[in-house]
Chains A and B, each alone.
Chain A
Amino acid sequence: MIYGLLFWEFFKIGLFAIGGGMVTIPFLFDLTKKYNWFNAEELTNMIAVSQSTPGPVGVNMATYAGFQTAGVGGGIIATFGLVLPSVIIVILVSKLLSHYKNNLWVTEIMAAIRPAVVALILLAGFELFKLSVIDWVSAAFALVFFLMVYFFKKSPIFYIILSAILGILLRL
């Protein structure tokens, strides 16, 4: 029974949280009031943990919340429920898009949206900057690291591992 309820609640979150992982947070806080699955303090920990483990934050939070509520089965069910609505919708949109790909209205509108998305990504970087660059050491690290990333073409995975090692060495 708990599985059915978990699936339903996370399916609804997946359906209504438009705009990405962090948008699921207010919905998760609603769950703390509605059920006694987890409380607000546990949720805050979950958010912190979800941001520092690999993978999309929204997925991590669903897995964690589901697991906290009903063990391994709960983790799987909540994740599945969260992802299902977007999979169905994206497949439908894909079908439409490949049909209208060469329509001039569609290409013109997509060409106008692209600069907006580039601005959104810049904003995401800026938000992260405000959060993580807190002193001279981290500012210098960010600058040197950016120059490395820009001039030496290595895999992002290489840079992520390197930045973890540097974080430990510099005691960030």
Chain B
Amino acid sequence: MVELGKIFVSFFKIGLFTFGGGYAMMPLFRQELIEKRKYITEDELIDYYSIGQCTPGVIAVNVATFTGYKIQKVLGAIVATLAIVLPSLLIIMALAGILNTLSDNQIVAHAFAGIRVGVIALILKEVIVLFKKAVATKFQISLFFVVLFLLFCIHLSAITVVLLAACAGFIKRFGDK
């Protein structure tokens, strides 16, 4: 029960403080789940994102469900999911009436513009940390650059590149055998 409470607080905090969702949430996931609570490892976080990319639904929610399940099975999954969604529910519905006028407000607009720039720095730091961890072998380094090329030049979708990388891993294992 205490554990469930902790799960709830962690994910509520993540839901409350990330703007943009998805990858922008990764620095908070790392701080809260890996560094502070030690619920999951670095590799697990990346794996959840990889799978979350290919399963239906919002990625951040999928990552929350995965982590919750890992800590406390089905009950943990449900609590984590509810907790990450709750700040959105409360904030959007509380502000819905004034939100359209709020985004016209100059000070609010400056603050959000600042946050968008700040989030870029956080994401870039995340890429560096993950690169050191997940791109280790020659095979992984070449995969990284091939995928980067495919994303920037041919504009393949996220799900396509994840599936292609999975095929590459499959073929490599097949060749190694």
Binding site for B on A (CB under 8 A): 14-22, 24, 45, 48-60, 63-64, 67-68, 72, 75-76, 79, 82-83, 85-87, 89-91, 93-94, 97, 104-105, 108-126, 128-129, 131-133, 138, 141-142, 145-146, 148-150, 155-157, 159-160, 162-168, 170-172
Contact = CB atoms under 8 A, between A and B. Distances in A.
B58 to A, nearest CB: 4
B158 A146 contact: no
A110 B96 CA distance: 41
Contact of A118 (B59, B134, B158): B134
Name the residue in B121, B127, B147 with the highest tally of chain A Cβ atoms < 10 Å from its Cβ: B121
Contacts of B23: 120-121, 124-125
A138 B113 CA distance: 9
Name the residue in B16, B70, B120, B126 with the highest tally of chain A Cβ atoms < 10 Å from its Cβ: B120
A151 B143 CA distance: 29
Interface of B: 13, 15-28, 31, 43, 46-47, 49-62, 65-66, 69-70, 74, 77-78, 81, 84-85, 87-89, 91-93, 95-96, 99-100, 102-103, 107, 110-128, 130-131, 134-135, 137, 139-141, 143-144, 147-148, 151-152, 157-159, 161-162, 164-166, 168-170, 172-173, 176
Contacts of A124: 22-24, 123
21 contacts: A14-B58, A49-B100, A51-B20, A63-B89, A75-B89, A79-B89, A82-B57, A83-B85, A87-B65, A109-B170, A112-B172, A117-B50, A120-B147, A120-B158, A122-B148, A128-B20, A149-B125, A155-B31, A160-B17, A162-B118, A163-B118
A58 B84 CA distance: 12
A55 B166 CA distance: 29
A19 B124 CA distance: 21
**Chain A to chain B: the 5 pairs with minimum beta-carbon distance, closest first:** A167-B114, A163-B118, A86-B57, A112-B169, A55-B88
B175 to A, nearest CB: 10
Main secondary structure of the interface of B (DSSP, over half): helix
Given A64-B96, A141-B117, A159-B121, A113 B166 contact: yes
Main secondary structure of the interface of A (DSSP, over half): helix
Contacts of B13: 157
Given A19-B53, A54-B19, A110-B169, A123 B114 contact: no
Given A51-B20, A120-B53, A114 B135 contact: yes
A162 B28 CA distance: 15
B92 A56 contact: no
A116 B164 contact: yes
B51 A93 contact: yes
Contact of B81 (A87, A118, A168, A170): A87
A155 B17 CA distance: 11
Contacts of A110: 43, 47, 50, 169
Contact of B173 (A54, A97, A108, A164): A108
Given A56-B84, A112-B172, A124-B123, A117 B115 contact: no
Given A56-B58, A79-B89, A168-B114, A115 B27 contact: no
